[in-house]
Structure 1
Amino acid sequence: MSRNNSHKVAADVEHLNALGHQQEMTRHFSFLSLLGLAFAILNSWTALSVSLSLSLPSGGPSSTIWGLITAGISNLCLSSSLGEFLSAFPTAGGQFYWVAYVSPPGPRRFLSYWTGWITVGGWVAMNATGPLLGSQLVTGLIALMHDDYESKRWHVFLIYLGFSTGGFFLNVFANRILPVVNKAAFYWSMTGFVVISITILACAAPNFATGEYVYSDFENLTGWPDGFAWLLGLLQGAFGLAAYDSVCHMIEEIPDAPKQGPRVMSALQKGTPLIEFKPSEGITEA
């Protein structure tokens, strides 16, 4: 560790002690590796690809495009607020600690307790979602390459177990290489984004949909009222922008946490909507 980083880590430890915590983790992440971790968790363009079934029947192309813009602006506001808290209170507890600190004394324990459990529930669901989507992509690729293949639920489940087990062993027994893995995941995802964006448009050329269809066509195949259907489609745009609070829960593993944590969160919420927008536009044009 460089002398500059040593001074930053010492300041982080002192800050953490002032908040009533002790330094337990090694601060071996960098800005890029933490950004790679958070980006891999969001993986916005991949989440878009596997969740189109939410928006296309619930508003159609307009829900896909404008829902993403709405979700992007909303999440940028939320991430700015969380980044402010993270800068002042850089603890891995994140939301439950912040709620405990800023709440009135009376309901403080109740609010903090339930905030913590809601956060835990969200991360349990997110940890289940990633391997599930991955297993569905694998079976989809197999079906694409082999016409006689019929996907079974137990096929998806076994692949899901493989992804989950691999992630467990990586986090428990190979924690030291996580920064390298996160950087690789970031570059891999960005490469996939470029390749997929070009491929979608190349395969559709020259028969592109009109701009009017992409930006204003509304379709409601849900049976619900139009406004409610559009809100259902909004979930697709929000799905690829969620879980950016992962930065908060890794904040005790990066030097200069009060500065670097908010920087990562800000870069994430400024970049991922733009990255997700291009495949969204390409798919609806195709």
Structure 2
Amino acid sequence: MESKMDAVQPHSSGSKPPFESERFKFDDRISDSDPSAANGLLESLGYEPELTRNRSTLQVAFMSFVLASIPYGLATTFFYPLVGGGPVNIIWGWLIVSLIILCVAASLGEITSVYPTAGGVYYQSFMLSPPKYQRIIAWICGWSYVVGNVMITLAVNFGSAQFIIACVNVFEVSPGVGIFEATTYQTFLIFLGITLLCNAVSSLGNKWLPLLDTFAIFWTLVGLLAIVICILVIAKDGRNSGAYVFGHFEPQSGWPDGWAFCVGLLQAAYATSSTGMVISWVSLFKIIPMQTPSLLESSMCEEVQDPSRQVPRAIVGTIILNTIAGLLFLIPLVFVLHDSAALIALVSGQPVPTIIKSAIGNSTGAFLLLLPLAVLALLCGIGCTTAVSRSVWAFARDGGIPFSKHWKVVNQSLGLPFNAMMLGMVIEIALGLIYFGSTAAFNAFSGVGVITLTVSYACPIAVSFMGGRSHIKNGKFDLGKLGVFCNIIALAWSLLAVPLFCMPSYLPVTAESVNYAPVVFVAFIIIATFWYWVWGREKYVGPPTADEAVIDLRLSGA
């Protein structure tokens, strides 16, 4: 079959802006719940459907939940709101950011219902932008998207290494001294082992990944209930009052109170950073041979039946589920939280294992309760690893990455973009070497991941909003005035997040506590700019698009 990528030409610079014309005309008698109809939509957007559709709304939500891995994500970043403001920062910071991210999810859901393609926010930004700015906006969004996936995956695997070490050290040789005081190189080797394991499972164990998704849901539920019940019932050192849990504000970062609270929001922002990634999962999942879940916002859309409805619902529904799960995890921890100054001073930077051990009263019980979080960390890493391969693949197939011909190849025996996965792994390991220079490297990885993903999500929302949102009526998830409100909140958050997460977590700043996020962020900007100047400005035309003519999706005559 001839590829649509060969048959469809991009918009010319003089064509009518996408948001000023009716891009698609859906026949009410046609439902893209039919895989062939969904493939027809995909072909009309300029892509050849290479992947099999097999996911329901519930399964997409499951995958998104695994990507977020809320208990694990909140556990590994608990330090930031603890030093930022204590209980108020932990509880209310999570709730505030969750509501903001719900607005981001709703905004992306509206757009995805119109453009449910594997390019995700990258493709959507191109389609929604005025012709004069299409290429540059798509380029910025595409690079931000790819970098965000790589950095979040790096942060997950690196955080897993640190968290596992902290879990082991609930066993002590003497008070305050764990049995495994890992050196810098030992921590790096554990990170390296986790990274290699996640890539091996994601590539070689592809067909088992849907089962892992389902397993992770029940594993998370059981583990979360066990932690909540045990620490609240036993509470060896007593329980705090409700006034303390919901009203005590104790910033210890050295920043002014208001800014300290904002810097402490990194925990919530990191844990919710996978919001748009499910779209990518949805686009690129393949059952025979199976593809693994992806963090890319739109990638799974090409593999889900009726993506125009399923993906928006899954995105919004998962945020609501994650918000509830986060509160169930955080509130009990704050009830048994004691001596926050000592927790902040922990060399591991991981307060949660110590909090749970203190509440349970013995090392064995604490370790058993932490075990579900450690396993969830590995499952999250596997999903994130798959996301990297999908994000690199989606951008490379349009020439956005140097040597794209190598990264856009789909390995037919494995049924996934293996080369793209290996590229992501090499970059992650190389960046992991930063740890030898600064033990605060995790802050840089997670900070850059949040920043770049936020920028990538903001691109289509911004051009959609400035274009009058006229295209939304062609989708199946139009929120009307509520959608306008969500757009404004999402864009305001994006403007805050970029400078916010470039800041060090606490003062005074030392070589150990400095935030390297701006350095890493600028490095990627330089690389992206250099490649655009060398290659992109002459040859990059963006993703393939449909003709301006109205597309009839009736398949009876196709």
- Quickly say closer, same or farther: Cα 1:170–1:206, change in 2 above 3 A: closer
Amino acid at match of 1:217: H
C-alpha contact 2:32 2:38 (8 A) present in aligned 1:
no
Amino acid at match of 2:218: Y
Distance in 1, matches of 2:197 and 2:58, equals 23
C-alpha contact 1:33 1:180 (8 A) present in aligned 2:
no
Question: Partner of 2:226 in structure 1?
Answer: 195
Q: CA deviation at 1:175?
A: 2.4
Distance in 1, matches of 2:185 and 2:55, equals 37
Are 1:218 and 2:218 an aligned pair? no
Cα deviations across residues 195-236 of structure 1 (Å, max 9, x unaligned)? 112122123268221121111111121111111101011222
Distance in 1, matches of 2:78 and 2:212, equals 28
Question: Partner of 2:376 in structure 1?
Answer: none
Question: Partner of 1:261 in structure 2?
Answer: 311
Amino acid at match of 1:220: P
Q: Name which of 130, 135, 155 aligns with 1:109.
A: 135
C-alpha contact 1:34 1:179 (8 A) present in aligned 2:
no
More displaced, 179-188 or 103-112?
179-188
How is 1:10-89 mapped onto 2 (pairs within 5 angstroms)?
10-89=36-115
Q: Name which of 250, 272, 277 aligns with 2:322.
A: 272
State percent identity of aligned pairs. 29
Q: CA deviation at 1:146?
A: 5.0
Question: Partner of 2:181 in structure 1?
Answer: 150
- What is the TM-score normalised by the length of structure 2? 0.49
Cα deviations across residues 7-38 of structure 1 (Å, max 9, x unaligned)? 62111101101111110112233334332221
C-alpha contact 1:55 1:236 (8 A) present in aligned 2:
yes
C-alpha contact 1:197 1:279 (8 A) present in aligned 2:
yes
Distance in 1, matches of 2:266 and 2:119, equals 27
More displaced, 28-37 or 237-246?
28-37
Helix, strand or coil for the counterpart of 1:88? coil
Distance in 1, matches of 2:258 and 2:32, equals 54
- Quickly say closer, same or farther: Cα 1:7–1:46, change in 2 above 3 A: closer
Distance in 1, matches of 2:320 and 2:64, equals 13
Q: CA deviation at 1:121?
A: 0.8
Question: Partner of 1:284 in structure 2?
Answer: 334
Are 1:159 and 2:194 an aligned pair? no
- Quickly say closer, same or farther: Cα 1:6–1:267, change in 2 above 3 A: closer
Larger helix percent: 1
- What is the TM-score normalised by the length of structure 1? 0.92
Q: CA deviation at 1:167?
A: 1.9
- Quickly say closer, same or farther: Cα 1:170–1:6, change in 2 above 3 A: farther
Are 1:123 and 2:173 an aligned pair? no
Question: Partner of 2:272 in structure 1?
Answer: 241
* Structure ranking higher on relative contact order (CA contacts 8 Å, 6+ apart): 1
Cα deviations across residues 87-121 of structure 1 (Å, max 9, x unaligned)? 11111111111111111111111011110100111
Helix, strand or coil for the counterpart of 2:49? coil
Aligned residues: 282
C-alpha contact 1:80 1:266 (8 A) present in aligned 2:
yes
Q: CA deviation at 1:61?
A: 0.6
C-alpha contact 1:56 1:63 (8 A) present in aligned 2:
yes
**Which blocks of at least 5 consecutive residues in structure 2 are unaligned?**
1-30, 174-178, 281-299, 337-558
Distance in 1, matches of 2:184 and 2:65, equals 29
Amino acid at match of 1:226: D
- Quickly say closer, same or farther: Cα 1:136–1:219, change in 2 above 3 A: same
Amino acid at match of 1:88: V
Cα deviations across residues 244-284 of structure 1 (Å, max 9, x unaligned)? 21211122222221121112111111110111012211111
